């Protein structure tokens, strides 16, 4: 089975490509490398011993995208490609709407034209806005607070409308919670350029001495220790969820949360990181970050029941693997 992976050179995409190759799938990647590096392809080969076919194309370029569909006999698509920085999306909303929506519409048009009906789409827990209760279930009301999140919700709506109009489509929407961690080999992982926005990349940069101190955004939330609670999931558990989604015999439009089902506070994560890596993370309490919610964690029951989704990795693994990746890739 030949799978087109858009954004396959990125953080979650590259881990998923490894799982697909290990599972015997053939992989085609389309990525414009706007937020990833070509070296990822060699690393994927080093881990799996297998090669992928790569096109450095922008999905917004419809002609180039069509050339891929015309040449390759694609059976299914996993669509990771997109811009994902919440803060940047507030500053540059048009860039986010253009990139995330045009690319997806082009992709879906090509799928329809070439009769490729199976798609797995990367959505996000951000579509739940501020949840009314916890854990969050797939049928909770949806709302967003920033343009990035709105692109995810709009794409979910596009997919829903498309399925209503043409139910040859077989669509899986995966709502990820907070992916962290890295491949055990230390070859694949996440190391954003500049100052990170997300917690784990920030912790790692403080631990390596690249940044002086972590600001903990608020210790007065209604949570056990006052700091924000999230559902951190190892990227390798998350990536395997995509293979399970492809194997799911159930057709139609399906939506699943991918999270561990467990909430962890900022302080718990920092403390665990220090313990398992035997390193100090300087920190201070700062004011709340605008737009943040107190707590967010998934009910993963539906994914467990229908996909057989389970999480193998612990919070310790996530902390170890995140640090290991950055240490290996910055020659500390």
Q: Which stretch binds ligand WQD (CB under 6 A): 68-76, 158-166, 196-204, 319-327?
A: 196-204
Tokens of 120: 């797995």
Q: Which is nearer to ligand NAD, 99 or 324 (CB)?
A: 99
> Quick one: which H or E segment has residue 191?
none
99 binds, among ligand WQD, ligand NAD, none (CB under 5 to 8 A by kind): ligand NAD
Q: Which is nearer to ligand WQD, 14 or 178 (CB)?
A: 178
> Quick one: which H or E segment has residue 95?
helix 93-97
Determine if 217 is a binding residue for ligand WQD (CB under 6 A): yes
Determine if 88 is a binding residue for ligand WQD (CB under 6 A): no
Residues tagged active-site: 148
Question: What is the Cα–Cα distance from 184 to 234, expressed in whole angstroms?
Answer: 11
Phi and psi, residue 259, nearest 5° = -150, 175
- The number of residues that bind ligand WQD (CB under 6 A) is 18
Per-residue binder mask for ligand NAD (CB under 6 A), 12-31, x = binder = xx----------------xx
Nearest to 137 by CA among 175, 103, 97: 175
Phi and psi, residue 257, nearest 5° = -75, 135
How many alpha carbons fall within 13 Å on the CB side of residue 153?
A: 15
Identify residues 4-23 at the interface with ligand WQD (CB under 6 A): none
Residue whose entry in the numeric block shows the structure tokens 């007065």 = 220
Given 3, 25, 47, 99, the residue binding ligand NAD (CB under 6 A): 99
Quick one: CA dihedral 103, 25, 20, 312, positive or negative? Answer: positive
One-character DSSP codes across 241-268: HHHHHHH----SEEEEEES-S--EEHHH
Burial of 239 (0-12, 13-18, 19+ CB in 10 A): buried
Burial of 328 (0-12, 13-18, 19+ CB in 10 A): middle
Identify residues 169-208 at the interface with ligand NAD (CB under 6 A): 176, 179
Q: Which is nearer to ligand WQD, 75 or 268 (CB)?
A: 268
103 binds, among ligand NAD, ligand WQD, none (CB under 5 to 8 A by kind): ligand NAD
Determine if 215 is a binding residue for ligand WQD (CB under 6 A): yes
117 binds, among ligand WQD, ligand NAD, none (CB under 5 to 8 A by kind): none
Identify residues 283-302 at the interface with ligand WQD (CB under 6 A): 289, 292
Given 199, 246, 315, 326, the residue binding ligand WQD (CB under 6 A): 199
Determine if 82 is a binding residue for ligand NAD (CB under 6 A): yes
The answer to whether residues 153 and 121 touch, using CB atoms and an 8 Å cutoff, is: no
106 binds, among ligand WQD, ligand NAD, none (CB under 5 to 8 A by kind): none
* Cis bond upstream, residue 159 (ω within 30): no
The answer to whether residues 302 and 257 touch, using CB atoms and an 8 Å cutoff, is: yes
Q: Residue number with the shortest CB distance to ligand WQD?
A: 228
Determine if 205 is a binding residue for ligand WQD (CB under 6 A): no
Question: What is the Cα–Cα distance from 200 to 319, expressed in whole angstroms?
Answer: 8
Q: Which is nearer to ligand NAD, 99 or 223 (CB)?
A: 99
Nearest to 182 by CA among 190, 171, 174: 190
Determine if 34 is a binding residue for ligand NAD (CB under 6 A): yes
Q: Which stretch binds ligand NAD (CB under 6 A): 42-50, 58-66, 133-141, 317-325?
A: 58-66
**Residues at the site binding ligand NAD, with contacts judged by CB under 6 A:** 7, 9-13, 30-36, 58-60, 80-84, 99, 103, 122, 124, 176, 179
**Residues at the site binding ligand WQD, with contacts judged by CB under 6 A:** 84, 86, 124, 126, 178, 197-199, 202, 214-217, 228, 230, 266, 289, 292
């Amino acid at each position: 089975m030949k799978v087109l992976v858009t954004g396959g050179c990125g953080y979650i995409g590259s881990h998923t490509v490894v799982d697909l190759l290990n599972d015997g799938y053939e992989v085609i990647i389309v990525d414009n490398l706007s937020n990833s590096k070509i070296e990822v392809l060699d690393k994927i080969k080093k881990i799996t011993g297998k090669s992928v076919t790569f096109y450095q194309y922008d999905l917004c370029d419809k002609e180039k995208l069509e050339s891929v569909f015309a040449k390759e006999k694609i059976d299914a698509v996993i669509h990771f490609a997109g811009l994902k920085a919440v803060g940047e999306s507030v500053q540059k909303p048009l860039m986010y709407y253009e990139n995330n929506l045009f690319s997806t519409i082009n992709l879906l048009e090509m799928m329809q034209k070439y009769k490729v009906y199976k798609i797995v789409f990367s959505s996000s827990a951000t579509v739940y806005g501020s949840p009314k209760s916890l854990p969050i279930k797939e049928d909770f009301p949806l709302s967003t607070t920033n343009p990035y999140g709105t692109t995810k919700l709009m794409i979910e709506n596009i997919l829903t409308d498309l399925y209503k109009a043409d139910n040859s489509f077989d669509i899986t929407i995966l709502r990820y919670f907070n992916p962290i961690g890295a491949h055990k080999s230390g070859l694949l992982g996440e190391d954003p350029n500049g100052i990170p926005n997300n917690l784990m990349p920030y912790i790692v940069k403080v631990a390596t001495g690249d940044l002086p101190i972590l600001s903990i955004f608020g210790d007065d939330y209604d949570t056990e220790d006052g700091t924000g609670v999230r559902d951190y999931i190892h990227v390798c558990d998350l990536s395997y969820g995509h293979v399970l989604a492809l194997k799911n015999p159930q057709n139609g439009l399906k939506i699943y949360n991918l999270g561990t089902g467990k909430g962890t506070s900022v302080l718990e994560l920092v403390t665990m990181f220090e313990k398992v890596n035997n390193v100090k993370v300087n920190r201070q309490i700062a004011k709340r970050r605008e737009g943040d919610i107190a707590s967010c964690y998934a009910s993963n029951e539906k994914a467990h029941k229908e996909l057989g989704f389970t999480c193998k990795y612990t919070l310790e693994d996530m902390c170890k693997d995140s640090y290991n990746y950055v240490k290996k890739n910055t020659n500390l």
